[in-house]
Structure 1
């Protein structure tokens, strides 16, 4: 198994043209169905967001500075346990986009005609910009779906927008974002590994480990 550093170098060497070829071969156009922005059954929507992406959303001109960390992100729920009161506690890694009371992404809006829209579309995280595609390298988000290219590097998740015509320009834009996401995911994974120091959270407390160290649920450093 390659080291994360080796995988990062591989991600940096990905050819945008090759990624675009794979995307173009299957085709994609967003139908605004909202499936990638909403929760499923009893599972809330979960999309990884990097610390710097949280701050970019906080500072976006679209929201006039009205958002704080908790409006944008929540602790990734995996690995946390429920208290007797139904709250979560424990240690986890990384952040997920915040959800509303229905378990949908907090930035998801649905029009009267049933089509979906993103209130943070211009500032949306890389995982949203690249859906339904992912790059299958160790250290990146766990690849799902079918391989698009012969090497199995590009994967396509289930999405009703697949199979639709896509222009070369749009395929290349998506490919560049896909490469950037793969690089940043690996950079984040390496930094999380290097910064990680185990802690013993107090009862009812959540500690989140990201590339910047251990944090509280409001995004402030644990050491403060």
Structure 2
């Protein structure tokens, strides 16, 4: 398996034209079904968001400062445990978009006809911009589940919009976002690896390790 550093170099060398060719060959058009924004059964929606993407949403003119860190992001649940009071505690890595009481993304809304919409569409994170596609380099995991189609290094994940015609311009836009996401995910992973030190959180406390160091659940650095 390649090191993260070698994989990052591979990601930086990805050619937009090749990625766009792969996306075109698979085909995609968003049907606004909302499946990628909603939870399933007892599993809440989980979409990774980078620290700077959280801040972009905090500072978005669209929300006029109405959202703070905890409105936008929650600790990635993996590795956390629930104490007797029902609160999560422990250490985890990275952030997920916040969810509502139904387990759906907090930015997802449906109109009266049931058509879904993202209320943060202009500032949506890279993982949302690129769904249902991911890039699989050597050793890369599949954070969006198993692939249902593939072309070269591009993987397509379950989505009813797959197989539909996509214009070259849209395929290239998607390809650019997909490359940026592949690079950013690896840069984030390397920074987390390099910054990580066990935090030994107190009972009832959650510590989130991201590329900027350990944080509390409100996004503030642990040392403050």
Shorter-chain TM range is over 0.9
1:26 and 2:12 aligned = no
Residue in 2 that maps onto 1:49: 49
Residue in 2 that maps onto 1:145: 147
Structure 1 residue ranges without an equivalent (≥5): none
- CA shift, 1:144, in A, is 2.6
- CA shift, 1:148, in A, is 1.8
Asked if 1 retains the 8 angstrom alpha-carbon contact of 2:74 and 2:97, the reply is: yes
Asked if 2 retains the 8 angstrom alpha-carbon contact of 1:4 and 1:139, the reply is: no
Q: Distance in 2 between matches of 1:161 and 1:23?
A: 12
Q: Distance in 1 between matches of 2:42 and 2:85?
A: 18
1:61 and 2:74 aligned = no
Matched residue of 2:134: which SS?
A: strand
Q: Distance in 1 between matches of 2:223 and 2:105?
A: 30
Q: Distance in 1 between matches of 2:149 and 2:107?
A: 30
Asked if 1 retains the 8 angstrom alpha-carbon contact of 2:134 and 2:155, the reply is: yes
Structure 2 residue ranges without an equivalent (≥5): none
Residue in 1 that maps onto 2:156: 156
Residue in 2 that maps onto 1:134: 134
Q: Distance in 2 between matches of 1:69 and 1:75?
A: 11
Q: Distance in 2 between matches of 1:141 and 1:65?
A: 34
Residue in 1 that maps onto 2:38: 38
Q: How does 1:41-120 map to 2 (within 5 A)?
A: 41-120=41-120
Q: Per-residue displacement from partner, 1:92-149 (whole Å, max 9, x unpaired)? A: 0000000000000000000111110000000000000000000012356536313421
Q: How does 1:10-21 map to 2 (within 5 A)?
A: 10-21=10-21
Matched residue of 2:109: which SS?
A: strand
Q: How does 1:177-216 map to 2 (within 5 A)?
A: 177-216=177-216
Matched residue of 1:36: which SS?
A: helix
Residue in 2 that maps onto 1:125: 125
Which stretches of structure 1, 4 residues or more, deviate above 4 A after TM superposition?
A: none
Q: Distance in 1 between matches of 2:146 and 2:118?
A: 23
Q: Distance in 2 between matches of 1:141 and 1:52?
A: 22
Let me know the Cα RMSD of the aligned residues: 1.1
Asked if 2 retains the 8 angstrom alpha-carbon contact of 1:44 and 1:99, the reply is: yes
- CA shift, 1:65, in A, is 1.1
Q: How many residues align?
A: 222
Q: Distance in 1 between matches of 2:121 and 2:142?
A: 21
Q: Distance in 2 between matches of 1:51 and 1:97?
A: 11
